[in-house]
A and B are shown apart, each in its own frame.
Chain A
Amino acid sequence: MKLLAKGMVVLWSVMLSAAPSLALERFNVVTTRELHQLLEERNAGKVDFVLVNALDEMIFKDVSIPGSVNIPWCDVDKTIGRLGANKNRHIITYCVGYR
């Protein structure tokens, strides 16, 4: 899959809700360079965001980007509290990567 420059990416996703349906959602894509920069800025106290590893706990413990929290896709309701109460907080999610 071709790497995309920063911009809007259209992703098909399955909504995990009581009324499941296919949802066409658009989310900004963060590049590797941008994420690295953001993490450095966060470590310096300049920005705030939550980096979410959406993989299974077993995988998260084996490999994760430092500074991530684990919110497994299979266990969202039990772990969503790790994002904090501020619903406007900046969140960046990641998995293994594109295939």
Chain B
Amino acid sequence: MAVAIKNRGYTHIEIYNGGIKDWTNAGHKIESVAPLPKYKGKFISCEELLNIMDIADKNGCQDDRHRPVLTILDLRTENYLKTDPSVPAIKTGCKTITCLLDDLIRPDIRKQIPHDSPVVIVTETGNRDIYAMQYLSQFGYRNIRGLDFGMRGWIKLNYPVETH
């Protein structure tokens, strides 16, 4: 983000690296004008996702009633904006929904997200997954998991990726 601002001509930019996490851990006040529902979302590891994907891909990613057995919900900004064609995505034959986190307020986007089969959120580092899970919980979603360490973790483990 700092780079994006700098690219638009701003010259005096610093970064508060600790972010929301360090601020709240230090006991400082937080503002919440539109709180998300309280929901304890769960995460899976990259290894677990890889195992699920391997099985799903071998079965065409569908069950015997042609329902998806796995859906990837890719909320990465850089992937959505496609400013760099070399940005990798998780390589899978399973359904992938690519959108921005704020797009989840759109009913036409949510309609694509199944309620009755596993859905795994992919963000850059896994930091924003919980907010998506909290938001979607109010629509009855209990089948959604975050991905520990996000795409960064996936790439670090040299798991399968593809570029567009």
Which A residues are closer than 8 A to B by beta carbons? 3-4, 9, 11, 13-17, 20-21, 23, 25, 27-32, 35-36, 51-52, 54-59, 61-66, 68, 71-74, 76, 80, 83, 87-99
Contacts and interface: CB of A to CB of B under 8 A. Distances in A.
Which 6 A-B residue pairs are closest in the complex by CB-CB distance?
Answer: A97-B19, A97-B21, A61-B34, A54-B1, A13-B3, A96-B127
Interface in B20-68: 20-24, 26, 28-36
B100 interface: yes
A52 B5 contact: yes
B154 interface: no
A31 to B, nearest CB: 7
Interface of B: 1-24, 26, 28-36, 77-78, 80-81, 83-84, 87, 100-102, 104-105, 125-128, 131, 134-135, 149-150, 152
Contacts of A14: 3, 78, 83-84, 87
Contacts of B87: 14
A65 B50 CA distance: 36
Given A59-B128, A98-B19, 8 more contacts: A14-B87, A29-B15, A32-B22, A62-B34, A64-B20, A64-B31, A91-B13, A93-B14
A90 B3 contact: no
Given A57-B102, A73-B77, A88-B12, A13 B18 contact: no
19 contacts: A16-B7, A17-B7, A17-B83, A20-B84, A29-B17, A58-B34, A58-B101, A61-B32, A62-B36, A65-B28, A65-B31, A66-B30, A72-B102, A91-B5, A92-B16, A94-B19, A96-B21, A98-B17, A98-B18
B150 to A, nearest CB: 8
Contacts of B135: 58
Given A11-B15, A14-B84, A58-B102, A97 B127 contact: yes
B98 to A, nearest CB: 12
